[in-house]
Structures are given as C-alpha cells and as structure tokens.
Amino acid sequence: MMEAGEIHMALAVCSGCDIGQAIDIDKLTDAASEAKEGLSCIKHNTLCSEAGLAELKRLVLEKGVDRLAVAACSPRVMSREFEMDGVQVERINLREQVAWVMEPGQEDTQMCAEDQTRMVLAKLDTIKDGTPYIPDQLSSDILVVGGGIAGLSSALGGARAGYRVHLVERSARLGGYAGRIYKMLPDSENAATLKEPDLHDTVKELEEHPGVEVYLETSIKSISGEPGNFIVSLENSRVSELQVGAVVSATGWKPYNTEKLAPLGYGSERVKTLEEFEQFVQKEQIPDRILFILCAGSRDENHLAYCSSYCCSAALKQALYVRELNPHAEVYIIYRDIRTTGFQEEFYKMVQADDAILMTKGVIESVSDQGDAVKVIVSESLLDDRVCINADLVVLATGMVPNTTSDLQLQYRLGKGLPEIEYDFSDSHFICFPYETRRTGIFAAGTVRAPMDMELSREDGAGAMMKAIQCIESVKRGEAVHPRAGDISWPELYMERCTDCKRCTEECPFGSYDETEKGTPLPNPARCRRCGICIGSCPERVIGFADFNINSVSAMIKAVHVPDEFEEKPRILVFVCENDAYPALDTAGINRLQYSPFVRIIPVRCLGSINKVWISDALSHGYDGILQIGCKPGDDYQCHFIHGSELTEQRGVNLKETLETMMLEPERIQTRFVEITEHREIQEIINEYVEEMELIGPNPFKSM
Amino acid sequence: MSTINPDLGFKRKLTRLSGSQLNQCMQCGNCSAVCSLAPTERPFPRKEMIWSGWGLKDKLMGNVDIWLCHQCGDCSTYCPRDVKPADVISAIRQTSYQHYARPLFLGKLVSNPVWLPLAIAIPVVVIIAILFLAGTFKIPPGPVDYSAFFPHGLLNGTFSAITLFFYLLASFGIGRFWKDMKIQTPPGEAGRKRLPVFRVLREILSHSNFSGCGSRTPGKVAHLLLFFGFTLLIMVTLYAIWATVTHHYPLPITNPFKILGNLASVMIFSGLGIMTWQRLFNKSVFGKSAYTDWLILAAIALLTLSGTLVQLARFGDWSIAYHLYFFHLVAVWFVIMYMPFTKLGHIFYRTTALLYARSIGRK
C-alpha cells in the first residue's frame, strides 16, 4: 500500500439529474473534506458535459490527482467519460441510489449521500494500483478436441483467423457422424433440395492448411495448466506434448441406447435406428412400406426427457431417400409433433408435397415383427382412436446423448471432464454465455453442449473458436476472460498466513486452485473469473484483489457514521451483487421506486465474496442489520459465478449460530435473491427488511 | 381397431379430381370448426381430409357425413392451407358414384370424356332399334305429329321400362352403400329407429340445411330453382303420360300443365345460368369444376333447350322437328336413365344417407 501522504484524492460532485435538488452539495463536500484531509473538490451542474469534464481534467492535472471519486450517476452509465489514464476512479451513485429513490431535501437523504461518499473515499484510500497477471509461457495455439462437424468448423475458423490449431480425433477419419451420411439436409438458403455431403471440401482445406495439425487415432492423456498455458499430453501420437492457449471441446454425441428401445420393436432385423438406416440406404434394397416412428425414446421421462431437435428433419430426409431409391415405396410417419424449426419449415413442406409420404400424429402402442410384416399399433392417432399399420421396415428416430467430456483428462481437482448440467450435456450458460464452461479457456461446441443439427453445429464450432481466440487475447493482456471481461485485478494470496485449510480450493467454482498433497493452494490466476468467492471462503483473510479486498470493504463499512440508539435512525448495510442485483437497484431508481434512506450499499463481485469478518465489523460498528442481495441460485443458475449465492446461504447457517451465541437476533442478517428484471421486488425487499429491523430494535452493540 | 390400408391410386384420383394438395392439410380442424354439420365427437371434415391423404378408400366409401354435406364451401373458404376440403368431398362423392355403380361400367361411362361417344351411342342405337322395330323410323309426312314418329304408348312403355331397369341396377349399389354406412357408422346405443321418411322429405323440400352456411348463398337459390323446376317437370310429364291415354294429345299451349311445364323450363334455365356463372367466375368459393360437373350441367341444359325447341317446332311446323325430337330423347336418356351414375346420383345417395343418419339420431 502507498503511504497516505502520497495519495492525491479528489471528489467531483455533479448536481445535475435531480441530485442538486435532493442533496445539499455544499454540505456534502464539507462532510467529505472533513473525512479526508487535503481532498480537492469540484462541483458542476452537468459533470458529464464537455465543460464539466474539462474542468475535471484540469483539476486532475493541476493537483496531480491519482484517486478520483465521482459523485454522480451509476457506474453502469458514463463509464468511458469518467475514465482517466493513471487515475483510479470510483463512482458514488448519488443519482440512481440516492436522489431518485429518497425524499429530496430530507436530513436522512443527506446523511445517506454523505455516508456513501465517505465509503467510497475510504475505499480509494485502501485500494492499490493493480498489475495484471500474465502467465510466463504464453501460447496462442488452440486445441480442438473432436473431428466432427463442429470440430472441423472450429479448427478451420481458427486457422483462417491466423491461429495455429491442433485437431485431435480419436477415430481414424475426420467427419464424425456428418461424414458417414448419405445426404445432408438442405441449407436454410436453399431449402428445396437435399445436399450431397459437403464435408469433403472442409476436410481437404483443413488438411492442406499450414496452420492446422491433425492427430488421428489420438486421445488425450492429460490437460493441465491454465489459459494461455495449457499443457496437453497426447496418447498414441507422433507428438507427445503440446502447449496451447485455449481448448475447444467438440466431442459430439452418440445415439440413444438401443437396448432401451425394445418396447418399440428394436431387436428385430426389420427395426432400425436413424443412424442404422442412414447406412442401410447406402447398401441395401429398400422395401415397399417404411414406417418412421418419431420421438422414439425422446421427450419421455423414462427415456430422454428432452427433444434432440434434429431427428424430425433427419427422418423426413430419410423418407425422401426412400422415395428416391424405391419409387414404389410408401412411407408412413407417426409423429408426436413435427418439429422442423426455422427455415426447415420449407423443407417440411417440400417433403409434404410427395403424395406417397403419409403422416399422422399418434402414440405408439406396440411394434411387433409378425414375420411377413411389422405390425405397428397406433393409438390416439388422427386417423382413428386405435389403428394397425403394417410395414416392411420400421425406423426409430432416436435422440442424441452427449459424449462424456472426461476424455479431456483435465488435471483439475474438480474432475477430469467439464461439469455436466441437465441431461448430461456439458456445462454452458445457454442464455448469457454459450460455449463458456466452468473451466476458463475450455469451450464446449456442438452437440456435446446441447442437441443441435449440422448447420447449428457448424456455427457453434465457429462461435466457440471465437471465444477461444478472445480468451487467448485477454490472457495476453492479463485481463479476465469473462464475465468480468477486461478486469485486470486477480486474487493475490499472502501465503505466510495460509493454514492449508483448503476452503478456497474447494469453494472455487472454476477450479482455479490446484493444491499440493498437504493442501496448500496453488493458484492458476488465468483460470480465475475474479468473482472473489475465495475472499469469502478464507478464514485467515489472506486472499484479496488490488481493488477489492478485506481492508477496502472493512474501511467502507467503518466509514459510515452510525447515530446512537436514541436517534432512532437505524443503519442497514446492504451487500449488493454487481451482476444482477445492482442493475436491478439502478432500475428501481430509474423508475423512482422509493426505499428507505437508512440503507448503505456496498456492491460486491458476488455474494460469495462476502467474508465473515465484514459481518462482524458491521455488527460491532453498530449497524442494525445486514442484507445480502444476489442472483438466484440453483441448477439453472442465474448466479454468474455458479454457486456464489448458494455458498452465501450455507455460510448464513453458520453465521446464525454465531449470532445466537452473541445474543443477537439471527434475523438481523438476511439473504435475498433477485433477477435483473425484479426492480419492484428489490424495492419491496429493502423496505420490508428495514421495517422488520425497526421492529427488532437497535443493535445492542451500538456505540460500544 | 381398424387396419390401415393406404391406397395411393385412390388418393391420386382424389387429388386429380379435387386439385387439392392433400398432404398439405395440417389437421388443424378449422374446417370442422366452421362446418355447421360437424358433430362434436366426429370432426368432419378434418378426419375425412386425413383419410383422403392416406388413401383410405374403405373408410370414405360408406361415409355418411360426406353425403350430408351440401357443399356450402365454408371449409374451403376458411382453410389456412388452401387444401379445399369442399372440393375433396366433391371428389369423394364422385368416386362413390363410380364405386357403387352396378355394373361398374356404367360408372365409368359417364365419368370420363373418353367414353362420351359411347355414352351417346347407346341411347341413339337403342332408340333407333325401337323405332325400327315399330316400323316408324322415317320422317312422317304432313304436319308435325310426334306420335306418328314415335307412338306415345311405345315411347312411354319402353322409356319407363328402361328407366326402371337402370334404377334397379342402381339399387344394388345403393344397397351396398347402406351396408357400408352401417359398418362405418354403427347405430349408437339408442339403436336404429323407423325410417323417418317424412322428416327427410321435409328437410329436402325446405332446403333447410342450406341456411347453415355463409359462403354459397347463390348456390342455394340455384339449387332451389333447379330442384323445383325438375319437380314440376316430373309432375307435368306424369300428367302428360296420363293425358295421352285419356285426353286429346298433344296439349294446346293454353293448357295449365303446358304453362307449368314452360315455367319449369324457365326456372331450370335460371338455375343453370347461376350455377354456370358461379363455376366460371367464382372459383374461390365453388372450387374446381370437373368433367362430371360440366357434363350434367350441359345435359340438363340441352334437355331443357331441346324440349322447348321441340314444342316450338310443333307449333311452328318446322321441318327439323323430328331431328330435334330425336335429340331431345337422347338428352332425356342422359339425365334420367344415367341419373344414378352421374352427379345427379346425389338424389339417391344423399336421400339414402339422410334416411340412415336421421334413423340413427345423427343430426
């Protein structure tokens, strides 16, 4: 930390956007100057205007300011405007979180504004200038695992962008499933004709590209290290070890287990799966009556609960094969719903135009091989309540099961594969961050992360490759990859005081920490997402970021002036998660949803980053209650750092016991979860909580 | 449980006759929702559409519902996929005339233009044969007297006998139709009631079912004109047959029956005019017109026109009177003798279906 005397701090207060009406600016700067000796202050009625910014810059230059507090609007807006080279800028959110949500001109509103200002000044006093972490040995190579359609598209994309790509495929040929089919579904631009398989050109370009190394019949022995510096050991290969900067996992899928399809007649020679039929049409004579059963073992709780999205189109495509290869053939399709989404509707209509392809909705009751024909009994069909259809061959449109990713052999304490979410598909945040897994620098593409067709797989491969490139470039600059893209802070450990308790290694959702046999954490900062969950986990308080650490938050907590118990002005500390809760709070402000002026807000990187010491600091400083608001936990996680919110709940249980031993009401500490859109709820949460605290009464530790 | 036996030949025939892309039906049921006839438990014509799409001839031939339909066209008007259920129903009916025709040959004779020369040749040859046997096959001298060419007794006798013979043949087909209806739509628990003849007669006479639909109001008017025009003509004909025996025949122009007959001609002409106009210029509602539609319209038009001309020729003593008369008799044959096998067969099938439907309580 720098010496206090070396810091030149300034405060710029904007009185525009209702701030001037709500708060006495002069009183505010007086209070700030009182809190921080030698503080330079300027006031302006539109600080973000050209004139305002010019005045601000003049002040920074004249006084050599290196720490600047901007008391104006939310840090979520005007962030570029207030950025200044060589100056640590912190924002005091007087507009969205004071002026717009509290009664103007009131004493309590003024006190809140002054406290929030003092908090940020205290923070600026304690934080350090960060230096980015950049791994010593950097590689810009990219490893693509899996040579199917997604892997090929990914590898080719990377090579075309100028990166060196290593493509590892465990079989003897490239192409995966897409390489074995008779014909492909039409492109969305040209929906009217089936395509000849076009992988040949891709494979050729790839094999000839100087930037691509292909390793066939090769598997991975291990992957260790961190983004920018992954060490990959290969088995059965001319090269035994590679160094790569990022990994794309495109290990694909396998058809649904046919053993479970006996009730649909599987086992008879006349009953085949889509994949088997794809090979069958390339070799055998096609009989005259073919019946397709869609959703075979899909969208059924006893089988695959989901829709694999490709099977309807694939079955329709095969119906066309049948008609092309045997013009006398009739095709019967029994569906639950035909799901040909997007442009494939055109393809569906094209199939419909063939008058020998007959479709009906229905539920398959039984499929039995009668020797001369397969008898299929369909109930609830559109044809009649219960009908029997005879066919010479039945094709089951089975779904996709993702391949395991443990073949990646990751040397992470959290496991060899990527974490799997619902239905065994690789982790990827469908809504916000497709491709991104919980292993930084390792991206999932194609059917290993979600069921999809070839067109989507191709796009997915390219998309994941772009993320891999972005990752490498971020690591080169020492920046976090995502979701705090661009953040140059990283967790630094004061190892002398570490007790090898392993909490940080266990609680890190991203496996950033390896550990020695003894349990000493071995950080891999490039794997880190900068959530700070390790700060929250550490009982010895040895982990911290340059601009977010035990001291900086403690200083903010203590900067608040807590009135004594007779003034009946409770003080509530609110830890707000920066990801969803903080924006929700800003939206509440934009909507002028009024809440109590007794709250003092501290934004945190994740609820999981809240250290117990801050709670005890707050209680001993005299706060009457502590409210923690974060993202929703759960399997379909909203939490940007997977289980930060969950951890807070768990830690809350222990905390309650501690409170009880201190003879404090456990209700004083509460945790709430909101979605980014729940600004009305967040207003209610705050107001109800404050009311509850007023009922419980003041913290007995006040003014002790 | 029924076994599904798709008959693609049948499906293709329906496609050809209706011009409907049957596969494009997405079974949404809009047609059933707008149909005033559709019972709740049997979505008509949604089911008939998929049966047609699958070529399920056995399910469609004894189908009651398609005969209750009076072709108002609402289903086609509201079909979001433009698969024209009304035209498909027409096509199914057309196929039924042929399917139930006994001998089968008679069905083919009037449904394909290829057979038209033969269909004309049969009455021509038969009439010539009768005239030849009667020894009157020559233009009689003197003022026009049709009985000199074709004695009334012989005409009425032979034509009645031939008509009865044709209708007897047709009754076998209708009997099979009745059996098929019983299989396709078995009577419910309530069982079958006595044939509600009067109720059905009232329904037919009043055209009450026509008012349930919106798309084809002109169709109702035309049908009413044609229906009552024909009814009048039949009454006049019956009177004429009786009159040849008891009165001085032919009747003078002032005879009330003669006036009624001419009124009937006017009604038929007007009805035909509306129908032709609609088929030519209102295709979106009236759908595709097939050969059989035009054949029957043409036959009725020629019948009525030649009848009127025959009458004028008698009063005007035209030299071509007997040629016209011969032509008129051939036209009579087309409309009356061939009736069960042409589109006019609906007079039999629809009445039969109505009787069956009402007897099992189908509304």
Per-residue pLDDT tens for A291-302? 999 999 999 999
Is the minimum CB–CB distance between A383 and chain B shorter than 8 Å?
A: yes
Nearest CA of chain B to the CA of A170: how many Å? 44
Per-residue pLDDT tens for A141-173? 999 999 999 999 999 999 999 999 999 999 999
Average pLDDT of the segment spanning B348-361: 90
Among candidate residues A356, A379, A399, the one where a domain is terminated: A399
Place of tokens 């002028």: A592
Say what the pTM is: 0.83
Q: Could you tell me if residue B3 is inside a domain?
A: no
| Confidence (pLDDT) at A501 | 93
- What ranges in A210-335 are assigned the alpha helix state H? 274-283, 311-325
- The CATH number given to whatever domain includes residue A75 is 3.40.50
| Confidence (pLDDT) at A3 | 47
For residues A509 and A640, the answer to whether their CB atoms sit within 8 Å is no
| Confidence (pLDDT) at B253 | 82
Q: Which of B12, B46, B54 sits opposite A358 (nearest CB)?
A: B54
Domain boundaries, position A48: 1-124
Residues A363 and A423 in one domain: no
Q: Which of A356, A361, A389 sits opposite B4 (nearest CB)?
A: A389
Which residues on B lie below 8 Å from A390 (Cβ)? 3
pLDDT at B236 over 60: yes
Residues B120 and B147 in one domain: yes
Residues A378 and A269 in one domain: yes
Residues B75 and B112 in one domain: no
Sheet holding A9-14, edge to edge: A40-44, A9-14, A67-72, A88-93
For residues B22 and B15, the answer to whether their CB atoms sit within 8 Å is yes
| pLDDT higher at B134 or A306 | A306
A268 sits in which H/E element? none
Nearest CA of chain A to the CA of B92: how many Å? 17
Which residues on B lie below 8 Å from A355 (Cβ)? 8, 11-12, 15, 22-23
Q: Rounded distance, CA B302 to CA A37, Å?
A: 115
The residue among B162, B130, B163 whose CA lies nearest residue B149 is B130
3-state SS string for B233-267 = HHHHHHHHHHHHHHCCCCCCCCCHHHHHHHHHHHH
3-state SS string for A8-38 = CEEEEEECCCCHHHHCCHHHHHHHHHHHCCC
Give, in degrees to the nearest 5, the angle at Cα B315 between B311 and B320.
70
Is the minimum CB–CB distance between B348 and chain A shorter than 8 Å?
A: no
Between A and B, how many CB-CB pairs are < 8 A?
A: 53
Give percent of chain B with pLDDT exceeding 90.
Answer: 54
Q: ipTM for the complex?
A: 0.84
Q: Which of A330, A349, A382 sits opposite B6 (nearest CB)?
A: A330
Partners of A492 in the β-ladder: A544
Peptide bond just before A483 cis, omega within 30 deg:
yes
- On average, the pLDDT of chain B sits at 89
Residues A369 and A443 in one domain: no
Is the minimum CB–CB distance between A368 and chain B shorter than 8 Å?
A: no
DSSP-derived pairing of the beta strands A386-391 and A393-398? unpaired
Disruptive mutation site among B4, B22, B184 for chain A (greatest number of A CBs within 10 Å): B4
| Confidence (pLDDT) at A136 | 87
Kindly identify which residue of chain B lies nearest to residue A356, measuring between CA atoms: B8
Among candidate residues B43, B65, B100, the one where a domain is terminated: B100
| Confidence (pLDDT) at B166 | 93
Kindly identify which residue of chain B lies nearest to residue A329, measuring between CA atoms: B8
| pLDDT higher at B73 or B174 | B174
Is the minimum CB–CB distance between A365 and chain B shorter than 8 Å?
A: no
| Confidence (pLDDT) at A633 | 82
Peptide bond just before B250 cis, omega within 30 deg:
yes
Q: Could you tell me if residue A620 is inside a domain?
A: no
Q: Could you tell me if residue A279 is inside a domain?
A: yes
The residue among A503, A480, A626, A604 whose CA lies nearest residue A549 is A604
Kindly identify which residue of chain A lies nearest to residue B56, measuring between CA atoms: A383
Kindly identify which residue of chain B lies nearest to residue A353, measuring between CA atoms: B23
Is the minimum CB–CB distance between B3 and chain A shorter than 8 Å?
A: yes
Residue ranges of A 301-330 with Cβ closer than 8 A to chain B: 330
Place of tokens 């694909």: A252
Per-residue pLDDT tens for A230-248? 999 999 888 889 999 999 9
Residues A13 and A79 in one domain: yes
The letter for the amino acid at A424 is D
Q: Where are the beta strands (DSSP E) in A407-448?
A: 442-444
Q: Could you tell me if residue B58 is inside a domain?
A: yes
Q: What is the greatest pairwise CA distance in chain A?
A: 98
Q: Could you tell me if residue B53 is inside a domain?
A: yes
Q: Could you tell me if residue A556 is inside a domain?
A: no
Parts of chain A with a pLDDT under 50 = 1-4
* SS3 category, B3: strand
Nearest CA of chain B to the CA of A340: how many Å? 14
Residues B158 and B255 in one domain: yes
Is the minimum CB–CB distance between B82 and chain A shorter than 8 Å?
A: no
Among candidate residues B79, B100, B121, the one where a domain is terminated: B100
| Confidence (pLDDT) at A2 | 41
Q: Could you tell me if residue A455 is inside a domain?
A: yes
- The CATH number given to whatever domain includes residue A434 is 3.50.50.60
Residues A11 and A85 in one domain: yes
Which residues on B lie below 8 Å from A377 (Cβ)? 1
> Are A353 and B21 a contacting pair at CB < 8 A?
yes
Least confident among A488-497, B15-24, B248-257: B248-257
> Are A332 and B11 a contacting pair at CB < 8 A?
no
Residues A80 and A26 in one domain: yes
| Confidence (pLDDT) at A549 | 95
Q: Rounded distance, CA A268 to CA A370, Å?
A: 10
| Confidence (pLDDT) at A337 | 93
Place of tokens 């009124």: B263
Domain boundaries, position B319: 108-359
Count of structural domains, chain B: 2
Q: Could you tell me if residue A499 is inside a domain?
A: no
* SS3 category, A255: strand
Q: Read off the tokens for A320.
A: 């066309």
